Amino acid sequence: MVVSLDTVISLCKRRGIIFQSSEIYGGMAACYDYGPLGAEIKRNVRNAWWRAMTQERDDVDGIECSILMNPEVWRTSGHVENFTDPLVDCKSCRARFRADHLDGYRARYKVTGVVEGSGEGQYEVELGPAIPGKVILAGHKVDDRMFERVDKIEYTGSPLACPTCGNKALTEPRLFNLLFRTHVGPIEDAASTVFLRPETAQGMFVNFENCRGTMRRKLPFGLAQIGRSFRNEITTKAFVFRTLEFEQMEMEYFCKPGTDEEHYRHWVAERYNWYIRYGIKRENLRLRQHDADELAHYSRMCHDVEYNFPMGWGELEGIAHRGDYDLTKHMEATHKDLQYFDPETNTKYTPYVIEPAAGVDRTVMCFLIDAYDEETVLDRQRVVLRLHPALAPIKVAVLPLLKKRPEIVEICHKLTGDLMRHWKAVYDDTAAIGKLYRRQDEVGTPFCVTVDVESLEDGKATVRERDQMTQERVELDRMEEYLVEKVVMVPPKVEEPVAI
Ligand code: ATP
């Protein structure tokens, strides 16, 4: 079914999955809090990734780095200078956009200068979301003209209308740096400025040698990390898709130059298949290769895993070939040797890096949207979240059919206690059984167990399955064993080839 964003947002609010941050103060734009069930889902997503990266393979170690790093790290990585988005405002309605998010965005300029073959004069130039000062330069070719000298650049407008008010009143794009700054110590000056990390990746690069040495790693091997990142995003909309503070799951895979393309293909397929493994429908997932002019400043090749969100296809994860950019830059800046001595060839070289970088929040969002379903059963409508059991916040709910019968309630509490040792199980007697089932369906609980009067006689209880709503009587003696087997916590790996 086609799910609207509002439907999912309303489910998240109604059922304690995701709330607006600081809601009782009127909220904080682009910041969200995960409620009791959301925190469980998020943890399950992290665990599934961590498991695939660090447990099911023997060539990746997990690490955890601090959010604040030496500010030189971000100068070296290029973030202080280049981590920018082109921002445009509408002079008429004051809406603000990222120029590269506006379909077909063009800006016109009048350039005074000297062009090869045409001489001195004034020339009309049209650009996409690029910043003219960085593109219209002497020695650069723009719009098939080679500028030999540039004296003056004047913005003459954009042929595009503002998507909000329709007026052709968009300003020229200007660069906006996404780094959040703060200060260490009592004095707020340039010397005390530090940055909240905009990605977790640099933690892996600066610890490359620490980890390689202490873990006695040979190439190829990877370093993985899950943690918070911060970006002062211009356009923040679409729920947790783009927020100021978010969590990333990133892995840097260090390999020998020459083997990099093979590893790149492996990781693109591996990461695409991970989403399928945890239940994302194939028709809602695709791979998209970046065009050369879309690549980040460090990237040689990049594929995005995209999901068909209610607002259109959007990036879930990028798999980038970062070459030796980061290690080389850190070596130049620190004069520390981050090269690898290859004992097989007795040579030294700078490893190449393949980086799968995913976002926890976007992943949670896509799992929720993909799992959401509504159906009518026996004239009654139900909402059911068909989440993979490994991701479901509650695995089993134990429900007494009659809460006034102490013997039934006692059995239920005992069973819940036994099940809790394996994963999250809950007891609930706050409504009639039909309503309790619906509540559990809505948050994706794969199984409900109902203890009734008959249970007291035959020692059995009813197990109801979420998706088909089938019911089965199972002996209470073997209920724990039965459910531990039924709740699939580790789905089989999907290893299908992926065309790239
Ligand atoms: P976009 O083009 O959407 O801004 P990006 O290409 O800058 O994303 P990366 O730097 O590749 O993103 O970060 C890796 C992942 O981190 C993204 O695929 C996404 O899942 C997540 N991510 C990045 N920025 C945000 C954000 N502002 N809010 C939530 N998740 C984010």
**Å from CA of 315 to ligand 1 middle:** 7
User: What is the C-alpha separation between 438 and 382, in angstroms, rounded?
Assistant: 6
Whole-prediction pTM value?
A: 0.90
Ligand 1 nearest-atom number relative to CA 304: 18
Measured by CA distance, the residue closest to atom 29 of ligand 1 is 242
pLDDT band at 234 (very low <50, low <70, confident <90, very high): confident
The model's pLDDT over 483-498, given as tens digits with 9 standing for 90+, comes to 999 999 999 999 999 9
**What would the pLDDT profile of 331-356 be if each residue is shown by its tens digit?**
999 999 999 999 999 999 999 999 99
The per-residue pLDDT for range 30-81, each reduced to its tens digit, is 999 999 999 999 999 999 999 999 999 999 999 999 999 999 999 999 999 8
Give the model's pLDDT for residue 350: 98
Say if ligand 1 is within 6 A of residue 233 CB: yes
Q: What's residue 190's pLDDT? A: 84
- How many angstroms separate the alpha carbon of residue 211 from the centre of ligand 1? 26
Sequence-distant (≥ 6) Cβ neighbours of residue 462 within 8 angstroms: 449, 450, 452, 471, 472, 473, 474
Q: What is the rounded average pLDDT of the residues 300-312?
A: 95
Tokens of 101: 């998010």
Ligand 1 atom, smallest distance to 363 CA: 20
Closest residue to atom 8 of ligand 1, CA basis: 315
- 392 vs 470: CA distance, rounded Å: 19
Residues 87/173, Cβ–Cβ less than 8 Å: yes
Cis peptide before 220 (omega within 30 of 0): yes
Which residue's CA lies nearest to atom 28 of ligand 1? Answer: 242
Q: In this model, does residue 298 exceed pLDDT 80?
A: no
If pLDDT is split at 50, 70 and 90, which confidence band does 101 have?
A: confident
- Pick the range with the lowest mean pLDDT from 142-156, 324-338, 345-359: 142-156
Cβ of 326 below 6 Å from ligand 1:
no
Distance 385 CA to ligand 1 centre (A): 26
- pLDDT of 5 higher than 90: yes
Ligand 1 site, residue 316, Cβ cutoff 6 A = yes
User: For 406-464, how does the pLDDT look when each residue is reduced to its tens digit (9 = 90+)?
Assistant: 999 999 999 999 999 999 999 999 999 999 999 999 999 999 999 999 999 999 999 99
